Chains A and B, each alone.
Chain A
Amino acid sequence: MQMPRPSQAILARKDEIVARLCRILPPEAVISDPAETRAYECDALTAYRCPPLAAVLPSTTEQVAAVLKLCHAEGVPVVPRGSGTSLAGGALPTADSIILGVAKLNRVLETDYDNRVIRVQSGRTNLSVTGAVEADDFFYAPDPSSQLACAIAGNIAMNSGGAHCLKYGVTTNNLLGVTLVTMAGEIVQLGGAHLDAPGYDLLGVLCGSEGQLGVVTEATLRILRKPEGARPVLMGFDSNEVAGACVSDIIKAGVLPVAIEFMDRPCIRACEAFAHAGYPDVEALLIVEVEGSEAEIDAQLARIKTIADRHSPTEWRESRSAEESAAIWLGRKSAFGAMGQINDYMCLDGTIPVSQLPHVLGRIGALSKEYGLEVANVFHAGDGNMHPLILFDANAPGQLETCEALGAEILKLCVEVGGCLTGEHGVGVEKRDLMLTQYTAADIEAQLRVKDVFDPNWLLNPAKVFPLSTTESRRAA
């Protein structure tokens, strides 16, 4: 993975730039000591690290605007940062860049149950948004597994999803408005507590733009009343094909569960060894969760059971208590932790058409053998968002490279069968160089032109998302 060479001119002016930042921010909000900037050298894609020139932690929208105005005038690249949990290197700095962290912007600004919205500063963590309304039985729906740590800012930039997005949608479907600061330091409002835009849907374009179009400081989010109850059921199958067919039949029958999660045998075994959730030793496992009143849940599960029975599940374990529900989810929720325990791993997140599931799992198995690295699969089956985890040993020479090569093959496979490179983690630096497998040069150029409008000088997170060769002339300008 390549990053552009840092500008020597900027590196040489570090002291001057830091001094000017100190004039517009409180002293404790500017971090320039190399011992401290190390804390910002990477996000959750830890294979790549580079400390920034400096990091700033403003606590108001006006301070964010002042920082951007200064960097804009000085031609200094800026990398926005929420909590640094990106798995794609979205918040990875370059040596000549300023990290603009929104962690101090973490307040709730307004809670409005009548209109079912909450307005928060963008550095607030995902889970604490729900935390702010939970006592009144409301919640914020998008629930990435990293929700304890990740910020709404990063969720918006990556258009993050979660296990329950089959029913509730991803971030973009739950985002009503933002306060955005442009690279030139202009503060603009997009959307609000009302629905839809009068002109072009700029909010829709911003969401998922990976910190390249502007810095989000506040967000208006849709909150929902909690369902009366929820209950998972665990099913085991003796082949991936059969489990895949069962998912498709459930959906076709008109039942819309809130979540359908899929785990294959390597993943089940690792989770079991780690979390002891009591999972059966089967080829494929589904966790299906439905919501409603007790009677509604019973009725939906009865329908699902009728469908599942046609596929002869080897296991049908319906939760009968909160404890049993927790046990069913335990293994799934600790999947990444379990993998981390036994190995280094790389987590992919390509999406495929659900109908291609058996074919793709078969091909991944073959590729895994060919490259000599084990792959465990855990994913959101209802929407085809795969999470193949490639296990490797970072200390063994050459294994990271082999792992990356295998990862690239798997993602190409996802595109080949009609899917995409990333369903929720974003492109960042990780999948940047694969973009041309999914898009033509013209498709990419159309996207670059959007950035030209928002950030004509290409200073905001410029080395991400697109292959460097396609952005070189713009970044150099």
Chain B
Amino acid sequence: MISPTTESDLAEAVAAAAAAGTPLAIRGGGTRAGLGHAVTGEVLETGGLSGIRLHEPGALTLVAAAGTPLEQIEAALAAENQRLPFEPMDHRALYGTNGAPTIGGVVAANVSGPRRIQAGACRDSLIGVRFVDGRGTVLKNGGRVMKNVTGYDLVKLLAGSHGTLGVLTEVAFKLLPAPESSATLCLHGLTDNAAVAAMSAALGSPFDVTGAAHLPGPADGPITLLRIEGFAESVAYRAGQLRELLRKYADEITERDDAAPWTAVRDGQTLGDAVGDVWRVSVRPTDGPEVRRRAGLDHPVYYDWGGGLVWLLMPKGTDLRAALEGLPGHATLVRGDEGTKARLRVFHPEPAPLARIAAGLRAQFDPQGVLNPGRMGG
């Protein structure tokens, strides 16, 4: 295992691996090990590159070394009443892992939770990166300011590249103030179609909904969740308005103010313990119920992102993509055994021209193919 403690040591290690043709398996906290295809290679561990480099609360910006534990970052932000806007998922329950997730791993997997629909994905908050490409060259893109169009946006390219284009050494974010309070309206007993219609109405209202999920499965009946955040007086007002607006969709609407349902939605908890393959399907929100219909109605399922993100637990080895053929969007096999992952592929296959561009980029950034080879398939 290689555990560099400086960026230049890391660059040297990658250069040496490239020269020797030794594949590297990049590891932050090891908590998202199940995400993507397995990588066989010498483990390159980023934990030695750790620490918050800069936090300017008055400028809403944070810069941290890629191996910094997410927990440490969240604590530092909480102390200033701030947070990462995109609500990163904690994969530990789903994968049964127990390491400490790193901020670099969050970025490499572009991990975003329920607030994605309102505040954007991880990639939308990421404003700068430093990384080591597959040649062992230290590179930077973006910076520490919110608005920056100087040259190409490689920041976005690196977000979600799963360590196949470079090893991140430092990441910079735009932050948001943490809200003073939060409320969740719960609509009871809706069908999937009615729930998506209600969520569309809420998300198309001026009341700034920051989470919209529908759980068809609970024992006491389906529940649709709509979250509002902000200053207390404003949350109370908007919750009231939203309740009025949604009256025509549901006879029973209750309200709660805890975060528990959102943690469950964020982390795939309602699916986590059961056996089977976990799929995450991104579609146009109103197509959500169609995804479920095609998958088969008796599988555990729930919707996030107003219906646009469908989480499904399918019997091992089911080719869900075949069932979804023709529906615009993409399906990711987020949990499955290596055999299934190899057969069905984890990431949705891209049309030939895009696959060619992706392969071209990979060849440019990692000509020897030593960075997480095979992680994204191909």
Q: Which residues of A contact B (CB under 8 A)?
A: 112-117, 137-138, 158-159, 161, 165, 169-170, 172-173, 182, 186, 188-190, 192-205, 207-209, 225-228, 247-249, 251-256, 292-293, 295-296, 299-300, 303, 351-355, 380, 383-385, 418-427, 431, 435, 438-440, 442-444, 446-447, 449-454, 465-466
Asked whether A439 lies within 8 Å of B140 as measured between CB atoms, the reply is: yes
Q: Are A353 and B56 in contact, CB atoms less than 8 angstroms apart? A: yes
Alpha-carbon distance between A113 and B197 when the two chains are bound, in angstroms: 11
Chain A residues whose C-beta falls within 8 Å of the C-beta of B203 in the assembled complex: 116
Residues of B within 8 A of A251 (CB): 57-60, 177
**Nearest A residue (CB) for B328:** A192
Name the B residues within 8 Å of A420 (CB-CB): 143, 145, 148, 150
A138 (CB) vs chain B CBs: closest residue: B204
B93 lies within 8 A of chain A by Cβ: no
5 A-B pairs with the lowest CB-CB distances in the bound complex, closest first: A204-B156, A248-B58, A254-B177, A423-B147, A453-B360
Query: A424 vs B233: C-alpha distance in the bound complex, in angstroms?
Result: 35
Could you tell me if A192 and B284 are in contact, using CB atoms closer than 8 angstroms? yes
From A114, A138, A172, A198, contact of B153 by CB (8 A): A172
Please give, as numbers and ranges, the residues of chain B lying within 8 Å of A189 by CB-CB distance. Answer: 351
Set of chain B residues within 8 Å of A226, measured between Cβ atoms: 206
Q: Are A198 and B330 in contact (CB under 8 A)?
A: yes
Could you say which of A190, A424, A450 has the most chain B C-beta atoms within 10 Å of its C-beta? A450
Q: How far is the CA of A200 from the CA of B157 in the complex (A)?
A: 6
Are the C-beta atoms of A199 and B116 separated by less than 8 Å?
no
Say whether, besides A254-B81, A449-B365, A248 and B59 are in contact (CB < 8 Å). Answer: yes
Q: How many A-B residue pairs have CB under 8 A?
A: 252
Among A196, A256, A354, A435, the residue within 8 A (CB) of B110 is A196
Q: Is the C-beta of B322 less than 8 angstroms from some C-beta in chain A?
A: no
In the complex, A292→B230 CA distance in Å?
Answer: 12
- Compute how far the CA of A407 lies from the CA of B143 in the bound complex, rounded to whole angstroms: 21
On chain B, the residues within 8 Å of A419 by CB distance are 143, 145
Within the complex, the shortest CB–CB distance from B378 to chain A, in Å, comes to 9
A-contacting residues of B (Cβ < 8 Å)? 56-61, 80-81, 110, 112, 116-117, 120-121, 123-124, 133, 137-141, 143-157, 159-161, 165, 176-180, 197, 200, 203-206, 231, 233-234, 237, 282-286, 305, 308-309, 328-330, 332, 347-351, 353-355, 357-358, 360-361, 364-365, 376
Q: A115-B285, A225-B204, A251-B57 are in contact. List 14 more A-B contacts (CB 8 A).
A: A114-B285, A159-B149, A188-B351, A189-B351, A201-B159, A204-B155, A251-B58, A293-B237, A423-B147, A443-B151, A450-B152, A450-B157, A450-B361, A453-B361
Interchain CB contact (< 8 A) of B148 among A137, A194, A423, A447: A423
A353 touches B145 (CB 8 A): yes
- B176: chain A residues at CB < 8 Å are 256
- CB closest chain-B residue, reference A189: B351
Q: Cβ of A454 and Cβ of B145 under 8 Å apart?
A: no
* Least Cβ–Cβ distance between A418 and chain B, in angstroms: 6
Which A residues are CB-close (under 8 A) to B177?
Answer: 251, 253-256
Contacts of B353 in A (CB 8 A): 182, 186, 188
Cβ–Cβ contact B148 & A435, under 8 A: no
> Knowing A158-B149, A205-B152, A251-B60 touch, does A198 contact B206 (C-beta < 8 A)?
no
Q: How far is the CB of A214 from chain B (nearest CB, A)?
A: 10
Report the separation of the CA atoms of residues A209 and B197 in the bound assembly, to the nearest whole angstrom.
Answer: 37
Cα A338 to Cα B147 in complex, Å, equals: 25
What is the CA–CA distance of A254 and B147 in the complex, to the nearest angstrom?
A: 20
Q: Given A159-B153, A199-B376, A465-B151, check contact A450 B364 (CB 8 Å).
A: yes
Contact A352-B284, Cβ < 8 Å, known A198-B350, A226-B206, A295-B237: no
Report whether B282 and A418 are in contact in the complex, using a CB–CB cutoff of 8 Å.
no
Cβ–Cβ contact B178 & A254, under 8 A: yes
B348 engages A209 (CB within 8 Å): no
Contact A252 B149 (CB under 8 A): no
Residues on the B chain within 8 Å of A200, using CB:
157, 160-161, 165, 358, 361
Residues of chain B lying within 8 A (CB to CB) of residue A465: 151-152
Show 11 A/B contacts (Cβ-Cβ < 8 Å), sorted by A.
A114-B286, A169-B120, A170-B147, A198-B332, A204-B157, A248-B58, A299-B234, A423-B149, A424-B149, A438-B151, A453-B360
Check A225 against B160 for contact (C-beta < 8 Å).
Answer: no
Q: Measured between alpha carbons, how far is A450 from B329 in the docked complex, in Å?
A: 25
- A422 near B150 with CB under 8 A, answer yes
Cβ distance B292 to chain A, nearest Cβ, rounded Å: 15
B133, B179, B348, B357: residue with the most chain A Cβ atoms closer than 10 Å? B357
- In the assembled complex, how far is the CB of residue B340 from the closest CB belonging to chain A, in whole angstroms? 17
CB distance from B304 to the nearest CB of A (A): 10
Task: Report Cα–Cα, A439/B138, bound state, in Å.
Answer: 12
CA distance A438 to B141 in the complex (A): 10
- Residue from the list B59, B147, B200, B308 in contact with A195, Cβ < 8 A: B308
Q: CB distance B59 to A384 under 8 Å?
A: yes
- Which residues of chain A are within 8 angstroms of B117 by Cβ–Cβ distance? 195
Contact B358 A354 (CB under 8 A): no
Q: How far is the CA of A273 from the CA of B145 in the complex (A)?
A: 33
Asked if A355 and B58 make an inter-chain contact with CB atoms under 8 angstroms apart, the answer reads yes
Cross-chain contact of B286 among A115, A192, A254, A426 (Cβ < 8 A): A115
Please indicate the chain A residues that have their CB under 8 angstroms from the CB of B178 in the complex.
254
CB <8 Å contact, B206 and A228:
yes
Task: Find the residue from B151, B332, B361 having the highest chain A CB count within 10 A.
Answer: B151
Q: In the docked arrangement, what's the CA distance between A190 and B353, Å?
A: 11
Residues from chain A with Cβ under 8 Å of B146 in the complex: 351, 383-385
Residues on the A chain within 8 Å of B329, using CB: 192, 194
Q: Is the CB of A201 within 8 A of B147?
A: no
> In the bound complex, how far is the Cα of B231 from the Cα of A421, in angstroms?
36
A430 CB, min distance to chain B CBs, angstroms:
12
The CA-CA distance from A165 to B332 in the complex, in Å, is 31
For B347, list chain A residues within 8 Å (CB): 198-199
Assess the B156–A195 pair: CB atoms within 8 A. no
- Residues in A with CB closer than 8 Å to B149 are 158-159, 208, 422-427
- A204 x B153 contact (CB < 8 A): yes
Interface core residue of A249, A252, A293, A444 (most chain B CB under 10 Å): A252
CB-defined contacts of A204 to chain B, threshold 8 Å: 123, 153, 155-157, 159
- Are A188 and B354 closer than 8 Å at their CB atoms? yes
Instruction: State in angstroms the CA–CA spacing of A444 and B137 once bound together.
Output: 12
- Kindly list chain A residues whose C-beta atoms are within 8 Å of the C-beta of B233: 295-296, 299
> Which residue on B lies nearest to A193, using beta carbons?
B284
Contacts of B148 in A (CB 8 A): 351, 420, 422-423
Residues A453 and B56 in contact, CB atoms below 8 Å apart: no
Bound together, the chains give a CA A223 to CA B120 distance in angstroms of 14
CB nearest to B153 among chain A residues: A208
Question: Inside 8 A of B139's CB, which chain A residues have their CB?
Answer: 440, 442-443, 446
> With a CB–CB cut-off of 8 A, which chain B residues contact A186?
353
User: Given A189-B351, A201-B159, A439-B151, A194 and B140 touching (CB < 8 A)?
Assistant: no
- Tell me the complex Cα distance, A253–B179, Å: 11
Q: Is B147 a contact of A384 with CB atoms below 8 Å?
A: yes
Chain B residues closer than 8 Å to A227, beta-carbon distance: 206
B328 touching A193 by the CB < 8 A rule? yes
Instruction: Assess whether A355 is in contact with B59, with CB atoms less than 8 Å apart.
Output: yes
Residues of B within 8 A of A253 (CB): 177
**What chain B residues lie within 8 Å of A466 (beta carbons)?**
151
Q: For A194, list chain B residues within 8 Å (CB).
A: 282-284, 308, 328-330
